[in-house]
């Protein structure tokens, strides 16, 4: 044992030290620049909007995502005629209860819309690893956004895509529901609509929480109902907060329609008695 220990100590003494055998040290007197970030909100998605990636995504969406979404969710679609009233590009605003939502919603859009739509995705969840960023950017044309704070550059990049003719799917709740009820809405969609003048298409998705709730291990089959509302256009000079309240009210009406019927939901909206969408206070 003593001979083995002596050999180890001798090997340590003979091991080269310092540069170039080890990484060089940084002089303490010099300020070190922050390393460049290539993930999260800084991930560059431009490659996903070039023709090869768009062609691959179209094949995946039409031949994999759409059949799977319809197999698992068996969607009943209401208000589909509203899509004919939409002047593209548009902002599709939906409630969010499951990872199934995006694939299901994309599968229900007309092909010419589906193939030119980007999806706002949480930068800290879908873009925290390089393989995840590559995968979701290719499969869903996902773009990273900050969901916990306002990021001006991210908002400007998204607005630029709308001006370039790309449609947008965005979930104003900022994440999936914990219990199937609505969460508090954030103003990103309203800000983009007032900034670009593009119409907002409210969409209520009911039933995906049963398929794959937050924290669920794997999806299971269950029927769903997707309701498209009348497109909303921001009035000239309308503040984003007021438009946000309008969008919230329409989504609440669509949620009421899913539970009752069209006439009951519209009577409640006309009376200003929107149903409870965020669950009991407890």
pLDDT score, position 138:
96
Going residue by residue through the chain (282 aa), what tens digit of pLDDT does each one get?
567 667 666 666 655 566 566 667 777 777 776 655 678 888 999 999 999 999 999 999 999 999 999 999 999 999 999 998 899 999 999 998 899 999 999 999 999 999 999 999 988 889 999 999 999 999 999 999 887 666 678 888 999 999 999 999 999 887 777 777 777 777 789 999 999 999 999 999 999 999 998 888 888 999 999 999 999 999 999 998 999 999 988 998 898 888 888 778 778 777 776 655 655 555
Cis ω on the peptide bond leading into residue 89 (within 30° of 0)?
Answer: yes
pLDDT score, position 146:
85
**What pTM does this model have?**
0.83
Q: What is the DSSP letter of 148?
A: S
Residue 101: how many other CB atoms lie within 10 Å: 26
pLDDT score, position 22:
67
Task: Compute CA 262 distance to the chain's CA centroid, rounded to the nearest angstrom.
Answer: 28
Contact predicate 173/184, CB 8 Å: yes
Residue 83 phi/psi, 5° resolution? Answer: -65, -25
List for the chain the helix, strand, coil content (%; round to 5). Answer: 45, 10, 40
Residue 232 phi/psi, 5° resolution? Answer: -110, 130
pLDDT score, position 17:
61
Place of tokens 């620049």: 33
Contact predicate 123/175, CB 8 Å: no
pLDDT score, position 12:
62
What domains are there in the chain, each with its CATH number?
40-269 (3.40.1130.10)
Starting from the edge strand earliest in sequence, which strands make up the sheet with 117-122, in order? 75-78, 224-228, 200-206, 91-94, 167-170, 117-122, 142-145
pLDDT score, position 14:
59
Coil, strand or helix: which one is 8? helix
pLDDT score, position 177:
77
Do you know the residue count of the chain?
Answer: 282
Four-point Cα dihedral 190, 196, 201, 206, nearest 10: -50
> In sequence order, what are the residues at sequence separation of 6 or more whose Cβ sits closer than 8 angstroms to the Cβ of residue 224?
73, 74, 75, 76, 104, 205, 206, 207, 208, 211
Contact predicate 206/258, CB 8 Å: yes
> In sequence order, what are the residues at sequence separation of 6 or more whose Cβ sits closer than 8 angstroms to the Cβ of residue 12?
none
């Amino acid at each position: 044992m003593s001979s083995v220990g002596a050999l180890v100590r001798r090997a340590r003494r003979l091991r080269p030290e310092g540069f170039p055998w080890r990484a060089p040290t940084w002089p303490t007197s010099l300020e070190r620049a922050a390393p460049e970030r290539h993930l999260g909100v800084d991930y560059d998605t431009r490659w996903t909007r070039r023709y090869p990636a768009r062609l691959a995504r179209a094949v995946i969406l039409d031949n994999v995502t759409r059949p799977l979404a319809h197999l698992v969710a068996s969607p009943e679609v209401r208000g589909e005629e509203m899509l004919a009233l939409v002047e593209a590009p548009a902002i599709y605003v939906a409630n969010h209860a499951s990872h199934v939502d995006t694939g299901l919603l994309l599968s229900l859009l007309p092909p010419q819309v589906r193939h030119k739509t980007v999806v706002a995705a949480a930068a800290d969840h879908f873009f925290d690893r390089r393989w995840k960023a590559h995968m979701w950017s290719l499969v869903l044309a996902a773009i990273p956004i900050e969901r916990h704070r306002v990021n001006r550059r991210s908002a400007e990049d998204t607005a630029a895509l709308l001006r370039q003719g790309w449609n947008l799917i965005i979930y104003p709740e900022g994440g999936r529901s914990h219990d199937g009820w609505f969460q508090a809405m954030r103003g990103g969609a309203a800000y983009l609509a007032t900034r670009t003048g593009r119409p907002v298409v409210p969409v209520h998705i009911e039933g995906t929480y049963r398929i794959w709730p937050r924290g669920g291990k794997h999806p299971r089959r269950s029927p769903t109902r997707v309701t498209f509302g009348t497109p909303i256009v921001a009035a000239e000079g309308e503040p984003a907060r007021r438009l946000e309240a309008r969008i919230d009210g329409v989504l609440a009406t669509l949620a009421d329609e899913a539970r009752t019927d069209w006439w009951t939901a519209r009577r409640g909206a006309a009376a200003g008695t929107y149903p409870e969408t965020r669950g009991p206070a407890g």
